[in-house]
A and B are shown apart, each in its own frame.
Chain A
Amino acid sequence: MATVQAHTETKWWGGGKSPFNIEYGKLMMWYFLMSDAFTFGAFLISYGTIRFSQNYWPDPNEVFNAFPLAGHANLPLAFVSLMTFILIVSSVTMVLAVHAGHHNDKKGVIKWMIWTIIGGFAFLGCQAWEWTHLITGDHAALINGEIKNIGTTVTMNPWGPASSITGADGHLVNTTGPVAFGGYFFGITGFHGFHVFSGVMINIVMLIMTINGTFERRGHYLMIEKAGLYWHFVDLVWVFVFLCFYLI
């Protein structure tokens, strides 16, 4: 952030005005988000520690290769790409809502907040489908010498290294993989999904307040900015969840 320049005449605080030239609630939102970044960071680093301690870890391209209505087609990372783009687009509509708020454009704020809320629900729907597919999906795995069909849950992982036994489909059957894979995946994407859900709820409250003219009477749309900070943070966290679970 070294290239960033502040649009102000004085560089240092001389008293008599807000030292950071920022509204109290917005500053506190920033500090909350910083602490939340450490919470997510701790989860992701814990995941990294366990992954580094294992001799084998499943390849995300093999685990996440399904797409709704595509049957058994092998489409690695396609669905999670869609989820990523939904979240980026909903982040853009949120910026536009904040921008409309700066110009006290009530109609613009309403329009862009509605799109942001739709994007949030779309993301949650995608995540629900993905979880359901992973938990209920049957994958052959060799358990105690027997081939069993299991899904990916917090206690089961069919994505282990290949065994020497050939299954019904002519491929070598997997052994079971590290159980921590499902635990971390559902734990961290679940915690992120919870953030998305609460973000959508906050956005709905902001939309209702905008429609009721609360911010118009107040003379500013700073609450939209604060909700926007939270929403962008959710997108920011997804960048790293996407990185850690799906890309590398």
Chain B
Amino acid sequence: MEHSAQEVTVHHEPGGKEVVQKIIKTTVILSVITIIELGMGLAMYAWPMAEGLKLFLKGVIVILSLAKAFYIVGIFMHLGDELKNMIMTIVVPLLLFIWFIAAFLWDGNSWKTLRNTYNKPAVENVAPAAHGAGEKH
């Protein structure tokens, strides 16, 4: 059985100029998101802030990273130009990650709680003040 280009009956690529413009636009979007992420990462380091606010910023950075992933897969890898059924065979299995991440991070947190409850010396060995809380290099 020969797998050649003939079995591809529809060509996805439209004209030249639009595609290059789309690539440039995506590059700009990816760069801007990365700069925003870095700015937020550095802000968490430069200014002391409440743990809740830090967690919120980290959440925003995660969402921005997912946006980057969407652009890379959809535009650079041209998944957005494929047939919907084909896209679904890739995307639907990845939904397993929702359970995967939630279950295992929950598990890790549970280990911490158990260790702190039943293994006191491990807690006492760790100083409460985080490194860098009161000093600047």
Contact = CB atoms under 8 A, between A and B. Distances in A.
Nearest to B2: A24
Given A22-B82, A53-B111, A99-B20, A219 B87 contact: no
Interface string A82-98: 00110011011011101
A23 B108 contact: no
B135 A239 contact: no
Interface residues of B, number: 78
Nearest to B107: A49
A81 interface: yes
B86 A239 contact: no
B130 A161 contact: yes
Contacts of B48: none
B50 interface: no
A49 B130 contact: no
Interface string A11-25: 101000111111111
A88 B9 contact: no
Interface string A46-73: 1011111111101111100100000000
Interface residues of A, number: 85
Nearest to B37: A247
Contacts of A159: 131
Interface in A1-54: 1, 4-8, 11, 13, 17-25, 27, 30-31, 34, 37-38, 41-42, 45-46, 48-54
Contacts, number: 213
B130 A6 contact: no
B9 A236 contact: no
B94 A17 contact: no
B129 A162 contact: yes
Contacts of A247: 37-38, 40-41, 58, 61, 65
A91 B27 CA distance: 9
B108 A25 contact: no
Contacts of B11: 102
A239 B69 contact: yes
Main secondary structure of the interface of A (DSSP, over half): helix
A168 interface: no
Interface in B47-85: 58, 61-62, 65, 68-70, 72-74, 76-85
Nearest to B110: A53
Given A17-B7, A48-B104, A248 B62 contact: yes
A21 B34 contact: no
Given A77-B42, A88-B30, A239-B69, 20 more contacts: A1-B79, A1-B80, A1-B87, A17-B9, A30-B79, A31-B89, A38-B96, A41-B100, A45-B100, A48-B108, A53-B115, A55-B126, A56-B130, A85-B31, A88-B31, A96-B20, A99-B13, A102-B13, A232-B73, A247-B37
Interface of A: 1, 4-8, 11, 13, 17-25, 27, 30-31, 34, 37-38, 41-42, 45-46, 48-56, 58-62, 65, 74, 76-77, 81, 84-85, 88-89, 91-92, 94-96, 98-99, 102-103, 159-164, 171-172, 174-175, 219-220, 222, 228-229, 232-233, 235-236, 239-240, 242-243, 246-248
